[in-house]
Each structure stands twice: as structure tokens, then as C-alpha cells.
Chain A
Amino acid sequence: MSEKRIMAVVTTNKDIIWGGGCPIIEATSFEEMERIALYLSRILDGAVHDLENGIYIIVKH
């Protein structure tokens, strides 16, 4: 099994994120978050996962 890695975080709720290790991008609306996540996923070949609390993570599988 290859190693999984969070490549980026996109969020509308920056207050609940602590720490880092990867770029964290704040979006002003849900639509913007979707769009940024889509762009990042296509650029980075990563899959977008929804943590259902206003946070999308882009993960390389």
C-alpha cells in the first residue's frame, strides 16, 4: 500500500483548523470551496474528501 498524504486543505471555517504541514486555503463561500477543491484535485491528481464540517481535504492516494 502506498503512503497517503494530505496535500491541501480548503475550508470556509478556518477557526477550527490547527497546525499545518500542508497549505490551508480559506474560501469565502461553499461554491468557492468546491471550485478551489476541484482545481486543486485536478492539478495535484488528488481525491477530494469532505469532512462535512466545512473542510475539504485533497488527498494523494
Chain B
Amino acid sequence: MEKYLQLILVSIIIGTLTRFVMLKIDYRRYPSYPHGYIVHLGMGLVASALGAVALPSILEKDFTAVTFLALATQQFREIRKMERDTLGMLEQNELVKRGEDYIEGIAKVFEGRNYLTIFNSLLVSICYYWGGLAFGIGAGSLGIIISVFFRRGKRIGQIAHVRSGEIRFEGANLYVENIHIMNVGLTSSRKIYLEKALGAIIEPYDDNARATLANVGQRMAICHDAASLLGVHKDVATPEFMPTARLDLDTGRVGVVIVPIEKDLDCFLEAIRRTPVLESAVRKPMQTQIGRIAAD
């Protein structure tokens, strides 16, 4: 096993590095620093070790060792569950909820990144074995770049046009242009809406995007992201200031209203554009014949 030591070490180092590069802390302060970081780097180390030893064990004709990979998938599913539980627990105390779909999406991402780590460290070990150290490191670097590329999902700005929308009241009913948002009873609350609120209209580019935006979880994610970036003028006892996104059933457009702490329209629109499109919300009816014919 001595002759493989260097190969395994290099693979583990590059594999862990892959996980580190993908582990980016963002404005949601998630994963929390430093402990969330350590948990995920630790799991990344385990993942890259699994990827690194796969090739040597095959070369040594120790095929049963590969079954460890099956154990690994079990382990990473556990990560997904862990993330889901943690976020679900914290959700109870969020003023503006993430929503189940968003949580599931984040949990899935954490699981997926561990697989990318395994693949990359396996790639390094294979390239190292046949092409030497430099080739191994080169392939590993390329793997990291590809992983970073994989990390980026689609964003709302890519599937829909986001523009500002005028907020108005018809009696007690709040509208963004022609989209009814909610009924606001108190005159004082209506005044705050007219003074401080921001409105936006999201116009889907095609019918696939329309179906995605119709997903309730996706709209919750938009509200959550906008609220966490701009702040929200709301406490537990003021449910009428909940950021809300409602659908225009005739056109598929979405109207969004938020009462932010920082009233900055451009930042608000950018926050919506940068909201990730949730995997669970993606619908592609136009890829089927029935969907295309129905859309005519």
C-alpha cells in the first residue's frame, strides 16, 4: 500500500479543497461559521478519502473495498437529513419563512456537493496513476472549476423579466398594477404601505417559466431572499406586513410587495433577479407534446 500513499494523499487534499471552494458562506449566514464550516469540511474530507482509495483498492484486487462507496451514499443522505432538520427547526422562528421547497433545495445541494467531492478526488487519483503528479493536479484543478460551474443554478433573472410595479389601493385592497395582493384593513397600515413599500412585477419569458413561478415554494423563496437582503418592516404581531407574491392568473405574471427597512428599488429588483430557481419548482411542460399543443 506504500506505493499508493502519495496518490491517496494528493487526492484527499485536492478533494477537500474542492469541498472548501464550494463551501461559500453567503448573506444568509448559512452554513454558520465556524461550526457549520467544520462539519462540512469534515464530511468533505471523508468524501475525498473515499474517492481517493477507490482506485488503489481496485488495483490491489480488493473489490469489496469499493462497497464502501455504498456506505458513503448512506452517509451523505444523512447530511441531507441533517440540513433539512436544522433549517426546518430554525424556520419556526423566521419572520419571513424560507418554505419547505427552499429548505429541500439547500439540503440537496449539500448532499450533491459531497458527491462532486468524491468524483473529483477519484478523478485526481486516476489521472495521477496514469499521468503523474502534475497531470493529477491539473485534472483536479479542472475538476474544481467544473464543480464551481455546477454550483451555480439558474436564477429568476434568467427565466423572467423583473421590473418595478406601482403600488395602489382600491378601497382596502392592495394591488401591484392589476394584481391583487391582499386586503389591508387598518388605515395606519395602508399609510405605511403607501409610504414605505416597494412593488415589483415578474414577467415569465415562456410557459416553462410561468409554471415555475406558479409554484408556491418558489414565490416564498423570492419573498424570503428579498426580505433577508433588504430587511423587513415587520414583527410577529404585524402579519399584514408579510412580504407577499401573488399570481396574475390570466398572464402568469407575479406581483411582489415588501415593506423593507431599506427602501431601495434597484436593490429590491436585483434581489429578486438573484433568487435561485428551486429545483423542486422547475416545470417544463413545453418539453412534452401535450404541453406544446395545449399552449397553442
Contacts and interface: CB of A to CB of B under 8 A. Distances in A.
Contact of A50 (B171, B236, B239, B242): B171
Nearest to B240: A47
Contact of B188 (A34, A49, A56): A34
- The secondary structure that dominates the A interface is mixed
A57 B184 CA distance: 11
What range describes how many residues of B lie at the interface? 10 to 19
B2 to A, nearest CB: 62
B158 interface: no
Given A48-B189, A50-B185, A61 B172 contact: no
Contacts of A14: none
B237 A48 contact: no
A27 interface: no
A49 B185 contact: yes
Nearest to A1: B216
A36 B236 CA distance: 18
Interface in A4-33: none
What range describes how many residues of A lie at the interface? 10 to 19
Interface string B175-194: 00000001111111100000
A42 B236 CA distance: 9
A45 B185 contact: no
A34 B185 CA distance: 9
Contacts of A34: 186-188
Nearest to A46: B239
A34 to B, nearest CB: 6
A45 B183 CA distance: 16
Nearest to A60: B239
Contacts of B182: 47
Given A41-B237, A45-B239, A52 B188 contact: no
A49 B183 contact: yes
Contacts of A48: 184-186, 189, 240
Interface in B221-253: 236-240, 242
A47 B189 CA distance: 10
A9 to B, nearest CB: 11
Contact of A49 (B172, B236, B238, B242): B172
B186 A38 contact: yes
Contacts of B184: 48-50
B169 to A, nearest CB: 10
Given A48-B185, A50-B185, 17 more contacts: A34-B186, A37-B185, A38-B186, A38-B188, A41-B237, A41-B239, A42-B238, A47-B182, A47-B240, A48-B186, A48-B240, A49-B183, A49-B184, A50-B184, A50-B186, A57-B185, A61-B242
Interface of B: 171-172, 182-189, 236-240, 242
8 A-B pairs closest in CB distance: A48-B185, A50-B172, A50-B185, A49-B183, A47-B239, A42-B237, A47-B240, A49-B185
